């Protein structure tokens, strides 16, 4: 197979025409959903439901829906140009620091901060494994999961990563839906009145802070938008479109493959919105009713014990295995994405040639072994997985602002932004931008001034 990062005439392929045919070309969204649904959704979203109750349910749904416009605009630029995410950031105006633009250097520094967050994620996986098999210590589980993840990812084959992500998201989607279904057989059964309250689009003053928090932690984030760029390229959306020559045939192909990407993005949005909503419902229906807000990963034990009381001992195993699927999916897909992202950054620094297949594969393989070990070591020394995960929130806000700026720049300052535009897409784009900026600025303010 030819290198999907190179736009070659012999890789050109006509796009599917019907919706059913487009479904056969989905894939990047599977990996994206695996990255998005993790500790933030399982822990923070459930805790938010416990604190705010159903009144904030509509905020969760809106948060997942509204950010997609920025994601598809960024991916559209990728399909039209074939540029990687860091190539795109390197084209933004501003000074260079060495060989790379300031935006690439800033992104690199922020991602170093997010090493701590990933340490918290591998710690979360280790905690869940300890709850399932307590004979092995939490720290030992962290050291076991690190090389296991490396072994799965280091070869870097797109097809394997896509299929594994599909297995993981199938697991956590079935878990989330089943958990809400089994909820009906407990004293905390869901009622239509509760859902109606959650979709009333009203928000008491006491829940405003929780609502802002919900918007920040749910749905797609800045790093996932960047990840999506690489997976769209490796799926072949840009390569099948071919080198840009502005011919009628090229424009037709571009529209067709962009439409495939839109379908992929929307399907993944429906998936992670459904799962996120399910976790919120668990928190609002059970914990808010009991007026109990467990701290961090204690939440898993509390929820599993409630299901066990009502359904029997098997429910605890079911709940913990489901939690593993949720948390490990983020670890797996993030590791696969980090290898590509940092290899791209190093290419902008002039350390490797990203477009040399052997150099790129070697870099991805080496980083796939290094990163999990670093994450595990950070967890072993800090030992506060929830705080470690939440520490990435402020870094994520800065990344999201940078991605919004890049997307705005390429929409209104480059020729790619003028391709196949419409008033509805522009309206959605600006709603997305304003919502993201508002919440990101509020989040940063709360950290430093709140």
CATH of the domain at 133: 1.10.4160.10
pLDDT digits (tens, 9 = 90+) for 139-150: 999 999 999 999
Task: Determine the structural domain holding residue 196 and report its residue range.
Answer: 9-449
Alpha carbon distance 295, 288 (integer Å): 14
CB-CB contact of 39 with 120 (8 Å): yes
**Whether the Cβ atoms of residue 327 and residue 34 lie closer than 8 Å to each other:** no
In the structure, what pLDDT confidence band is assigned to residue 425 with cuts at 50, 70 and 90? confident
Only one residue has tokens 């839906």, namely: 177
Distance CA 86, CA 100 (A): 9
Please state, as a whole number, how many other Cβ atoms lie within 10 Å of the Cβ of residue 151: 12
In a domain, 348, yes or no: yes
Domain assignment present for 351? yes
**Residue 150 carries which DSSP code?**
H
The 8-class DSSP code of residue 219 comes to S
In this predicted structure, the answer to whether residue 37 has a pLDDT above a threshold of 60 is yes
The per-residue pLDDT for 1 is 56
Residue partners of 47: CB distance under 8 A and separation at least 6:
283, 287, 293, 294, 299
3-class secondary structure for 262-310? HHHHHHHHHHHHHHHHHHHHHHHHHHHHHCCCCCCCHHHHHHHHHHHHH
Residue 434 domain-assigned?
A: yes
Give domain status of residue 152, yes or no.
Answer: yes
Average pLDDT for the chain: 89
- Higher-confidence position of 206 and 36: 36
With beta carbons less than 8 A apart as the criterion, state whether 153 and 161 touch. yes
Q: What is the mean pLDDT of residues 377-397?
A: 80
| Confidence (pLDDT) at 444 | 63
* Domain presence at residue 3: no
Distance CA 337, CA 220 (A): 15
Q: State yes or no: pLDDT of 179 exceeds 60.
A: yes
4 falls within a domain = no
- Residue 17's region, left for phi above 0, alpha for psi from -120 to 50, else beta, is alpha
CB neighbourhood size of 359 (10 A): 16
Note the pLDDT tens digit of each residue in 241-274.
999 998 999 999 999 999 999 999 999 999 999 9
Which has more pLDDT, 235 or 220? 235
Residue 43 is given by DSSP the state I
Average pLDDT over residues 228-242: 97
Residue 422 clears pLDDT 60, i.e. is over it: yes
Q: Number of folded domains in the chain?
A: 1
Nearest alpha carbon to residue 165 among 227, 117, 253, 209: 227
Q: Is residue 1 part of a domain?
A: no
pLDDT tens across 286-327, in order? 888 888 777 767 777 888 887 887 788 888 888 888 889 988
User: Residue 203: pLDDT above 80?
Assistant: no
Predicted local distance difference test score (pLDDT) of residue 446: 64
Q: What is the pTM of this model?
A: 0.93
Question: Is residue 276 in some structural domain?
Answer: yes
**For residue 94, pLDDT beyond 90:** yes
């Amino acid at each position: 197979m030819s290198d999907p990062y190179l736009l070659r005439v012999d890789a050109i392929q006509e796009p599917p025409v019907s919706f059913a045919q487009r479904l056969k070309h989905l894939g990047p969204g599977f990996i994206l959903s695996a990255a998005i649904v993790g500790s933030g959704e399982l822990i923070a979203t459930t805790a938010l439901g416990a604190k705010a109750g159903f009144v904030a349910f509509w905020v969760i749904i809106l948060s997942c829906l509204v950010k997609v416009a920025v994601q598809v605009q960024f991916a559209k630029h990728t399909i039209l140009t074939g540029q990687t995410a860091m190539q795109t950031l390197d084209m933004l105006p501003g000074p260079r620091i060495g060989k790379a633009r300031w935006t690439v250097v800033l992104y690199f520094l922020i991602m170093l901060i997010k090493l701590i967050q990933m340490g918290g994620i591998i710690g979360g996986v280790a905690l869940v494994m300890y709850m399932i098999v307590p004979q092995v210590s939490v720290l030992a589980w962290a050291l076991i999961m690190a090389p296991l993840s490396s072994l799965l990812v280091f070869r870097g084959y797109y097809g394997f990563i896509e299929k594994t992500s599909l297995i993981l998201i199938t697991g956590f989607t079935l878990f989330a839906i089943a958990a809400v279904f089994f909820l009906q057989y407990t004293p905390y059964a869901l009622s239509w009145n509760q859902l109606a309250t959650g979709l009333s689009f009203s928000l008491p003053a006491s829940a405003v802070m929780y609502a802002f928090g919900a918007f920040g932690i749910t749905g797609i984030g800045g790093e996932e938008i960047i990840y999506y760029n690489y997976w769209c390229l490796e799926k072949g959306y840009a390569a099948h479109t071919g080198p840009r020559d502005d011919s009628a045939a090229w424009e037709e192909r571009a529209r067709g493959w962009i439409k495939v990407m839109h379908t992929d993005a929307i399907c993944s949005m429906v998936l992670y919105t459904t799962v996120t909503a399910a976790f919120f419902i668990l928190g609002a229906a059970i914990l808010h009713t009991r007026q109990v807000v467990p701290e961090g990963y204690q939440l898993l034990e509390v929820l599993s014990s409630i299901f066990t009381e009502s359904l029997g001992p098997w429910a605890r195993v079911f709940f913990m295995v489901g939690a593993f699927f949720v948390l490990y999916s983020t670890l797996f897909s993030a590791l696969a994405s980090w290898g590509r992202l940092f290899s791209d950054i190093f290419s902008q620094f002039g350390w490797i040639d990203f477009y040399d297949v052997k150099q790129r594969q070697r870099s991805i393989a080496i980083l796939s072994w290094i990163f999990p070990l670093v994450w595990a070591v950070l967890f072993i020394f800090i030992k506060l997985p929830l705080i470690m995960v939440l520490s990435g929130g402020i870094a994520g806000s800065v990344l999201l602002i940078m991605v919004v700026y890049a997307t705005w720049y390429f929409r209104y300052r480059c020729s790619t932004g003028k391709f196949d535009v419409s008033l509805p897409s522009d309206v959605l784009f600006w709603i997305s931008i304003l919502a993201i900026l508002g919440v990101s600025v509020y989040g940063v303010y709360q950290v430093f001034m709140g």
